[in-house]
Every structure is written in structure tokens, then in C-alpha cells.
């Protein structure tokens, strides 16, 4: 029982109201738990996120369960065409081969946040903007969270702050020395729901169908990204068309933005009663669009593990958290490793007179093999759509 001086202990406190914090908040609140979310930024900031996200079939299932699927802004992907520039070898993943209506959907990050906020409002989820969390300490069976407004006590503290801190918990990091230049570009002919992933010596280039446009993710080194932001629209559209071997031509281009790319993985995602999720647990290269998809699997599994013991108010919470950490191990390691491999293997040997062509042929052979061998395509496709448990 709480006396007048002691504030009630919340079931969960969530740091960050990005897509991961909101999805986690909705999952726990829908089960009737007491939850508070604090975000250091303003309410408007996340809605302005210009990134466009490829959401896998598995993510759609999770968001539908949460009743936060951004249906009005979700463009289906029917086919993914994968190839490398300057070498033979290509393959295509088609939704029909997987018995699906779509391999995934493309949505603006802002639309996803809007859909999650609408659901959060219906659930009466307590979200406070402009409120930074400055620290936390374990206090018996609760966590004491320090915010700019004072102390809050909760049974679990969920960090969804969008970055892996530079402390002893950082297990793996790699600065790719690359930026992703992003923009919306209007194709001269309808895209027909075909996405392109093209590997080039300067990094991967992705075109994702988004409404009637293509969302472009053009990876290159940091200095080039700076120059590309100032390039004329006509020149940049030609560059994009060249990057995909002239398969698509463009007639209009939206504003360009740039994101620095790095891999950062936490060693432990559970410590005592604290859990790190999404980009706070692992930040990945956007090649193959895995970051938020992996994060939503974090959320789905956390809810599955935690809800029974949080709802029962019994002592099984530590056991549930340990189980969660155990269950996330394979998916995190496999997705982080796969993404890092893809980000590096297609630039391997770039500029090297002998290694370059050899590496290019080897990659071409791998793509050709994938194309000729449907079970391998199924394996890669299902893993990208559903994570390590997809096969």
C-alpha cells in the first residue's frame, strides 16, 4: 500500500516516444497496465521524420495486433529486384513465391508514429513530451527514474531512446564512413510495386515504392553525401537512374536528407529491471531495411514474456526478463550479422585492381545461385520478413 508521501509504482516506464517506445506502450497499456512514456523532444518532431520504412510481413502482423497499422499510407511491395552494378548476377523475390499478397509494405516513419499515437490516445496511454529522463537506479523491487519533473517509480524501465550509449554496454560498433542520402522521386512510369536493391561500389542503393513515388536510399561516403545534397535535381535523378542500370527514369524529386550510418550493438539488453529495445539495443545499417522490423519483433516478444507476470503482480518478473533476453539472442545476432555482412561484402575490393573484379564475380555467382535455387531464396526472404524464427 502507498502512503501519502510515496507516489504509486507504475507497472512500466518507457524512455522515448519514437515508434518503438509507442509500440511498447500500446502493447502494455492494451493489457490494462499502468504505463508512462517520456520523450525529451517535442510532440511535433517525430511526425516530421522524413525516413521511409520498409515494413516486413511480420511487422504488419505485429502492428495489426496493436491496432496501429498505417493502412492509408502503406504501399505494398510485390517484387524485390536484387542486383549489383557492373557485374552479372541478379535475383528477384516475388510475393507469390511465398504465398503472400505482399513481401512487405512501405510507409513514412511519420505516418507510422501518427497511427501509433492514435491508438495510444484510444488506450489513454500517458505520454509526456519535452520531458527528458536523466538517470535511473534500482530500489528494491522497483526502479527509481529521474526526470526533469522529479522522480517516478516503476516495476520495469524500458529504454527506447533510439541510440546505444557510449558506455561499457556497447559490445560491437562499426562506423561505415557512409551516409544514406534519402528523398522521394517520381518515376516516369508507374512502379508496378517493384522495389530495387542495387549493390554498387559506393554502397547499396534502394528504391522502394511509396505511394506513386519511389523512396530513395542512396548510400555513399560521407564527403560525397555532402556534395550530393547540393547537386541539381536533374543531375541527381540521372545519377539514380544510372545506379539502377537505367531500369527506372525519374521526372521529379523531393527534398534530400542525409543520415550517418553505423552499427552499434549492446551486449546485454536486460539488466536487473531495465530493458533496452529497438535502436537503443541495436542500431543497424539500413541495407535490407531491418532496423525497425527487428525492433518490432523485440516489442512483440517483450509483451509475450512480460505481460503475464506484470499483470499477476507476482515475483516471476525477473524470470520473465531473463527469458526475454534469452529468446532475443539469436534474432539480434543473426539480423545484426546479416546486415553488417551485406553492408560490407558488396563494397569489398572497390578500387582494388585484382580483388575488385574477383570479388564482383564471386558476388555475381552468389546472386545467380540464389536465383537458380528457390529454397535458398525462400530462406533469405523468410528471414528478412520474419526474423530468425521465420524459417
Interface with ligand FAD (CB under 6 A): 15-21, 38-41, 46, 51, 53-54, 109, 132-133, 160-162, 180, 182, 217, 259, 278-280, 286, 289-293, 295
Residue 371: CB atoms within 10 A of its CB come to 17
CB of 205 to ligand FAD, least distance (A): 12
Residue 18 or 387: the one with the smaller Cβ distance to ligand FAD is 18
In the complex, the smallest distance separating the C-beta of residue 261 from ligand FAD, rounded to whole angstroms, is: 7
Q: Which is nearer to ligand FAD, 21 or 187 (CB)?
A: 21
Nearest distance in Å: CB 280, ligand FAD: 6
Query: How many CB atoms sit inside 10 A of residue 216's CB?
Result: 27
CB of 64 to ligand FAD, least distance (A): 16
Is the four-CA dihedral 281, 286, 290, 291 of positive or negative sign? positive
Of residues 41 and 356, the one with the C-beta less far from ligand FAD: 41
d(Cα 227, Cα 181) in Å, to the nearest integer? 11
- DSSP string over 105-132: EEEEHHHHHHHHHHHHHHTT-EEEET--
Question: How many CB atoms are closer than 10 A to CB 69?
Answer: 21
* Closest approach of ligand FAD to the CB of residue 264, in Å: 12
**β-sheet bridge partners, residue 136:** 145
Smallest distance, ligand FAD to C-beta of residue 334, A: 15
Tell how far CA 116 is from the center of its chain.
15
Smallest gap, in angstroms, from Cβ of residue 37 to ligand FAD? 9
Listed in sequence order, the DSSP H helices in the chain are 19-30, 57-65, 109-122, 222-229, 233-243, 291-312, 317-345, 355-372, 374-386
Of the pair 290, 309, the CB lying nearest ligand FAD is at 290
- Beta-strand pair 274-276/150-159: parallel
**Which of 290, 284, 295, 228 has its CA nearest to residue 261?**
284
Nearer to ligand FAD by Cβ, of 33 and 62: the residue is 62
Mapped onto helix, strand or coil, the DSSP state of residue 170 is strand
Specify the residue, 57 or 109, whose C-beta has the smaller distance to ligand FAD.
Answer: 109
Name, in order, each residue with C-beta under 8 angstroms of 58's C-beta and a sequence gap of 6 or more: 293, 296, 297, 385, 386, 387, 390
Number of residues written out for the chain: 391
Q: Identify which of residues 20 and 184 has a Cβ nearer to ligand FAD in the complex.
A: 20
Q: What is the nearest approach in angstroms of ligand FAD to the Cβ of residue 285?
A: 9
- Least distance between ligand FAD and beta carbon 131 (Å): 7
CA atoms within 13 A on the CB side of 121: 5
Rounded to an integer, what distance in angstroms lies between the CA atom of residue 224 and that of residue 179? Answer: 9
Question: For residues 133 and 194, which CB has a smaller minimum distance to ligand FAD in the complex?
Answer: 133
Closest residue to ligand FAD, based on beta-carbon distance: 18
The smaller minimum CB distance to ligand FAD, of residues 253 and 359, is found at 253
The Cα–Cα gap between 374 and 232 comes to 42
Question: Which CB, 289 or 360, lies closer to ligand FAD?
Answer: 289
Specify whether the CB–CB gap between 211 and 107 falls below 8 A. Answer: no
Amino acid at each position: 500500500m502507498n502512503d501519502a508521501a510515496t507516489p504509486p509504482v507504475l507497472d512500466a516506464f518507457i524512455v522515448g516516444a519514437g515508434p518503438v517506445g509507442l509500440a511498447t506502450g500500446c502493447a502494455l497499456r492494451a493489457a490494462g497496465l499502468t504505463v508512462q512514456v517520456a520523450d525529451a523532444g517535442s510532440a511535433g518532431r517525430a511526425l516530421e521524420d522524413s525516413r521511409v520504412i520498409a515494413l516486413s510481413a511480420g511487422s504488419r502482423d505485429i502492428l495489426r495486433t496493436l491496432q496501429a497499422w498505417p493502412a492509408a499510407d502503406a504501399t505494398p511491395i510485390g517484387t524485390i529486384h536484387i542486383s549489383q552494378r557492373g557485374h552479372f548476377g541478379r535475383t528477384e523475390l516475388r510475393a507469390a513465391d511465398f504465398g503472400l499478397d505482399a513481401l512487405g509494405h512501405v510507409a513514412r516513419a511519420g505516418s507510422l508514429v501518427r497511427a501509433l499515437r492514435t491508438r495510444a490516445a484510444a488506450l489513454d496511454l500517458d505520454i509526456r513530451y519535452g520531458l527528458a529522463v536523466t538517470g535511473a537506479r534500482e530500489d528494491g523491487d522497483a526502479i527509481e527514474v529521474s526526470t526533469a519533473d522529479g522522480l517516478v517509480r516503476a516495476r520495469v524501465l524500458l529504454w527506447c531512446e533510439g541510440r546505444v550509449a557510449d558506455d561499457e554496454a556497447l559490445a560491437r560498433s562499426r562506423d561505415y564512413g557512409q551516409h544514406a542520402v534519402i528523398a522521394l522521386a517520381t518515376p516516369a512510369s508507374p512502379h508496378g510495386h517493384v522495389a530495387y536493391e542495387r549493390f554498387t561500389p559506393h554502397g547499396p542503393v534502394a528504391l522502394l515504392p511509396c505511394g506513386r513515388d519511389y523512396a530513395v536510399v542512396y548510400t555513399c561516403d560521407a564527403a560525397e553525401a555532402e556534395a550530393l545534397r547540393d547537386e541539381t535535381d536533374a543531375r541527381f535523378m540521372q545519377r539514380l537512374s544510372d545506379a539502377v542500370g537505367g531500369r527506372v527514369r525519374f521526372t521529379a524529386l523531393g527534398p534530400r536528407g542525409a543520415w550517418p550510418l553505423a552499427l552499434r550493438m549492446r551486449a546485454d539488453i536486460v539488466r536487473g529491471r531495465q530493458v533496452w529495445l529497438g535502436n537503443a539495443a541495436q542500431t543497424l545499417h539500413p541495407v535490407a531495411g531491418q532496423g525497425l522490423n527487428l525492433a518490432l519483433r523485440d516489442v512483440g516478444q517483450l509483451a509475450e514474456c512480460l505481460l503475464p507476470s506484470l499483470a499477476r503482480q507476482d515475483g516471476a518478473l525477473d524470470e520473465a526478463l531473463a527469458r526475454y533476453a534469452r529468446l532475443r539472442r539469436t534474432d539480434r545476432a543473426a539480423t545484426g550479422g546479416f546486415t553488417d555482412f551485406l553492408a560490407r561484402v558488396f563494397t569489398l575490393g572497390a578500387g582494388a585492381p585484382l580483388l575488385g573484379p574477383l570479388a564482383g564475380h564471386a558476388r555475381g555467382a552468389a546472386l545467380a545461385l540464389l536465383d537458380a535455387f528457390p529454397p535458398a531464396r525462400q530462406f533469405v526472404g523468410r528471414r528478412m520478413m520474419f526474423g530468425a524464427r521465420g524459417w
